[in-house]
Amino acid sequence: MTMSRLSLRVMIPLGLALIFLLVTTVSLISGIHHRYELLIKESERDALSYTTEVVRILEQGVSERGLLRSQISSIMTDERVQDLFVVGPDKHILMAPDPTLAGLPAKSADMAFDEEIFRRRQRERLPYLDPMDEQHVIEAMQSFQFGTEAAGSQGRGVVCVRFDLTRSLANIRNEAIVSRLPETGAMLLILLLTAWLLNAQVTRPLVRLRRAAQRMRQGNYDVRLPEQGSSEITEVSEGFNAMARAVAKARKKLLASEEQLSVALESIGDGLIATDLDGRVTLMNPVAERLTGWSREQAAGQPIEKIFVICHAGDEQPVPVPIRQVLENGTLVGLANHTVLTDRHGTRYHIADSAAPLKREDGTLMGVVLAFHDVSREYELREALAESEQHFRTLANSGQALIWTADIDGNRDYVNQPWLSFTGMTLEQALNGGWQEAIHPEDLDLLLKAVDHAYHERANFTREYRLRHHSGEYRWLLIKGTPRFNSHGQFVGFIGQCLDITSDKETAAELERLAYHDGLTNLPNRALLLDRVDQAIRRRQRNGGVGALFFVDLDEFKQINDLYGHKRGDQVLIEVARRLTGLVRDTDTVARLGGDEFLVLVPEVADEVDVARQAAVALADKLRHAMEQPFKFHEFQHVASASIGLTLFSGKVDLAEDLLREADIAMYQAKRAGRNNQVNFESGMVEKVTRRYRLEQELNQALSNGEFELHLQTQFDRNERIVGAEVLVRWRHPVRGLVSPAEFVPVAEETGQIVHIGEWVLREACHLLHGLQETEGSDVPPPTLSVNVSPRQFRDPGFADRAREIIQESGIDPARLMIEITENVLVSHASDAIDRMRSLAAIGVRFSIDDFGTGYSSFAYLKRLPLTEIKLDKSFIDDVPNAPGDAAMVEAILAMSNRLGIQVVAEGVETREQVDYLKAHHCDRFQGFYFTHPVPAREWVTRHLEGLAPS
């Protein structure tokens, strides 16, 4: 049954009306939806605000019921508020807008009350918002502390506020519709005017055109249209009239050639070949010419076997031409399946159809007609379909996914081999509803509900559930289902896949654990510690009392990694964690910040500060003593120590980060006090740390700002002639003036800035030597300059290369440069130190050991090193010759040096008596205030060139 067609004069106005209706509807729906979203967001925010306000009043004190009831009454004036309940830990209503509900079980007073949801909200501290449901209800819940904190989550109640937005949403919808009425009326007027114009200018001329076409179809080829109206209509009328004249003319020609066009061979889609009784070709149509590669003229008179060459598609064996069978039997013969036609040029076609006899009116056979058509495309499609099915089965069975399909009723009609292998079920057991037996009982109902909902909505679904493995264990799977439709768009069921996500879930759980725990020691990490410190602070603010935080840092832990490897270092850290955990209570927390830094939190030490301080100091001593015990692991043994910073806290602290910073500062002071110490935090420490930080920052800019300068202290020989000078660095601060080296050098050493400062000193000293070398022709001999190199600078792997570059750039005689290093560098890094010294000694640089005798002095390495001199420390010179012990040490060093050919420079010489004593025992050189004080380099050079002793 065909549907009646509408006229154009109806369709155009109707189309315009539909477009207007569609635009208006979309605009209206969009506006309503936007206002819906604004209302919902505002309501969610207000619901959370109301619950938070009620909780705040509750946690200020339950006794303030008047204020609470006033607040609840104020909230209930909001027309969106449907219910407001304050439920205590015992699941009874503490307060509600209806006073008669107070004291009743929440389950009986509120049908929507869910005990499981109550318990979850009871354990949470933050407000929870349940988004709007299908009944347009928004629910906000937040727990509050009921009673003491010690009660934990069981002592917490819940405030619930429900918003019903049904009325508000309806108001929005009605207001939007009413606001569109004037616009709709105006558009209707425009629509009517447009329809009238279209009818006058378009539809009426088209109606005339339609009627003329109908008359032409009925055989009236002389019909004509008036050529008037708009230009387009006039052109259409002219074209129609021209077409009518052309059709009339063509009709006459068609009638004249009707006999010729009646030949069906020229119009049929199949290939046709006609033969005579001898099987020779008499006629071919164009399709047959194309498929065989023979033209009609070439094929005429040729045997059919020469023109029509066919074989079987499977084995390539020739197939008899069916025309011969027709000639023998006189009956219709069909082609065999899988027949291939090979044309004259070797192109192959899959063909189908039949051969039929041509008979005269008397029934005698006059020939045979062979009809065939190309089915190559259909054959390829069948092959592709079979290949696709096999490909699908191969893919389905070769992957890891468990693939299944279900029919329109939800019954499983296919599962792949991995699904069967995973569950250990047979195909018969898994089909229909049998697959449900392998689902975990706790997950079955929820999974079936999700599947039913997906079937009802014809929508994708995803869910996690547990499926029984063939080993008997349940494993977590992620199921994804997609609706299936046939080629006509009809729903035919679902297809889905299941992925084993058990390892992913285990990984996620492990990642969550690692997010709050240290991966090596399994102790709480910084994030978890800060949370617990914050809780401890809040508890002290509520209950009073004093807690303590200990910052434990192992001394020289890097040596363990350097000497024994990181594996041994990790063993030490694990043992440290075990020892610290064993010394504290279960309520205390031991955490690892990273590296060798540990924190111990004792939330409650004592009620009084003095008592808490004594207890905390005692615990710090126990922790430090535990670190002093040897670490023994099979053949590995190491003795370590720890520096501990301690800070006490009460309700006056607000931020956990501040408490960690105080403990860190105290620990740093313990390190500076000589390690293996414990220091209590004091407020003045912050100022010290701040001052040191400021010093670091200013020191970092001092070099680029040109604030460093060189001072020189002269060295004299036995005849008290100038032989050289020691180069000293001074920092002239733009505000503070000269800063003591004792203040900034240790900071530079710790921060690593000493490397850049030392390189600058070495470069400036070489430039100074280069200037002095220019005076070699004068009466004043060029001196030797001694440059101190810090341990950190000397241990830098690139020190020797940079020193050579500086020497080469300055063009000095390397023999005039004396590099001073300390004994400790030689002891702690002997092999590297010797290599660097020999590398520079090879180009002429000389070396001196500074402060000899104050460190780990060893005479043994003196003969191994390329040393030129050693410098006796001032501590040995101060009391000679009156102190027998120091005198004996000095005499032994001088005697040994003379035998080894190493010159000795006595530092800190301040009296004539010391000079005479040292000369009497063959000391080579002298340096000290008795002779000169350090002076700026420019002044020293000027006085040196004048032949005066710089003083």
pLDDT value at residue 398: 63
Half-sphere exposure of 591 (CA within 13 A, CB side): 24
pLDDT value at residue 600: 93
E-state strands within 231-390? 271-275, 281-284, 309-312, 333-334, 339-342, 348-359, 365-374
**In the block, which residue shows the tokens 């590669």?**
293
Mean per-residue pLDDT for 60-71? 72
pLDDT value at residue 440: 92
- The angle formed by the CA atoms of residues 381, 386 and 390, to the nearest 5 degrees, is 140
User: With 90 as the cut, is the pLDDT of residue 787 above it?
Assistant: yes
Q: For residues 593 and 524, what is the distance between their CA atoms, to the nearest angstrom?
A: 9
Least confident of 194-208, 215-229, 257-271, 650-664: 257-271
Mean of all residue pLDDT scores within the chain: 82
Mean per-residue pLDDT for 841-860? 76
Let me know: does 284 contact 294? Beta carbons within 8 Å: yes
Residues facing residue 710 across a β-bridge: 729
Residues 663, 667, 669, 673, CA torsion sign: positive
Let me know: does 439 contact 447? Beta carbons within 8 Å: yes
Confidence of residue 232 (pLDDT cuts 50, 70, 90): confident
Confidence of residue 727 (pLDDT cuts 50, 70, 90): very high
Closest of 859, 880, 867, 866 to residue 926, by C-alpha: 880
User: With 80 as the cut, is the pLDDT of residue 891 above it?
Assistant: yes
Give residue-wise pLDDT tens across range 895-904.
888 888 889 9
Mean per-residue pLDDT for 266-287? 82
Distance of CA 896 to the CA centre of its chain: 66
pLDDT value at residue 925: 92
Let me know: does 367 contact 276? Beta carbons within 8 Å: yes
Characterise 401 by phi-psi region: left (phi > 0), alpha (psi -120 to 50), beta (else). beta
pLDDT value at residue 66: 78
Q: For residues 210 and 204, what is the distance between their CA atoms, to the nearest angstrom?
A: 10
pLDDT value at residue 258: 46
Give residue-wise pLDDT tens across range 83-134.
888 888 888 888 888 888 888 888 877 767 778 888 888 888 888 888 877 7
The type of residue at 810 is S
The three-state DSSP-derived secondary structure of 40-91 is HHHHHHHHHHHHHHHHHHHHHCCCCHHHHHHHHHHHHCCCCEEEEEEECCCC
Mean per-residue pLDDT for 870-875? 85
Closest of 470, 491, 504, 480 to residue 404, by C-alpha: 480
Structure tokens at 848: 């001196």
pLDDT value at residue 624: 87
Residue 477: count of CB within 10 angstroms of its CB? 22
Characterise 666 by phi-psi region: left (phi > 0), alpha (psi -120 to 50), beta (else). alpha
Structure tokens at 315: 């084995």
pLDDT value at residue 2: 47
Residue 819, classed as helix, strand or coil, is strand
pLDDT value at residue 864: 73
Structure tokens at 477: 């799977």
User: With 70 as the cut, is the pLDDT of residue 242 above it?
Assistant: yes
Biggest CA pair distance of the chain: 161
Closest of 828, 888, 891, 819 to residue 858, by C-alpha: 828
Let me know: does 799 contact 830? Beta carbons within 8 Å: no
Mean per-residue pLDDT for 465-488? 90
Q: For residues 662 and 648, what is the distance between their CA atoms, to the nearest angstrom?
A: 9
Report the range out of 161-165, 311-315, 459-463, 832-836 with the highest average pLDDT: 459-463
Residues facing residue 469 across a β-bridge: none
Q: In what order do the strands lie in the sheet with 402-406?
A: 412-415, 402-406, 491-500, 474-485, 461-468
Q: For residues 676 and 626, what is the distance between their CA atoms, to the nearest angstrom?
A: 11
The proportion of the chain whose per-residue pLDDT surpasses 90, expressed as a percent, equals 12
Complete DSSP assignment for 248-293: HHHHHHHHHTHHHHT-GGGT-SSEEEEE-TTSBEEEE-HHHHHHHS
Q: For residues 56 and 49, what is the distance between their CA atoms, to the nearest angstrom?
A: 10
Least confident of 68-82, 269-283, 579-593, 820-834: 820-834
Closest of 637, 742, 723, 616 to residue 679, by C-alpha: 616
How do beta strands 93-95 and 402-406 pair?
A: unpaired
Residues facing residue 468 across a β-bridge: 474
pLDDT value at residue 335: 61
User: With 90 as the cut, is the pLDDT of residue 59 above it?
Assistant: no
Residue 99: count of CB within 10 angstroms of its CB? 9
Residue 436 is classified by DSSP as: G
Least confident of 195-209, 520-534, 631-645, 717-731: 195-209
pLDDT value at residue 156: 85
| 42, 365, 478, 771 from 471: Cα distances, Å | 53, 77, 19, 88
The proportion of the chain whose per-residue pLDDT surpasses 70, expressed as a percent, equals 88
Integer Rg of the chain from CA: 52
pLDDT value at residue 61: 66
Residues facing residue 728 across a β-bridge: 711
| 772, 773, 780, 781, 945 from 777: Cα distances, Å | 11, 9, 8, 8, 12
**Helix%, strand%, coil% for the chain, nearest 5:** 50, 25, 25
Least confident of 148-157, 645-654, 760-769: 148-157
Mean per-residue pLDDT for 842-871? 77
Structure tokens at 259: 């006999």
Confidence of residue 555 (pLDDT cuts 50, 70, 90): confident
Q: For residues 603 and 610, what is the distance between their CA atoms, to the nearest angstrom?
A: 16
Mean per-residue pLDDT for 578-582? 90
Q: For residues 936 and 596, what is the distance between their CA atoms, to the nearest angstrom?
A: 44
Complete DSSP assignment for 577-638: HHHHHHTS-TTSEEEEEETTEEEEEEEEEESSHHHHHHHHHHHHHHHHHHHHS-EEETTEEE
Mean per-residue pLDDT for 618-647? 84
Let me know: does 917 contact 718? Beta carbons within 8 Å: no
User: With 60 as the cut, is the pLDDT of residue 778 above it?
Assistant: no
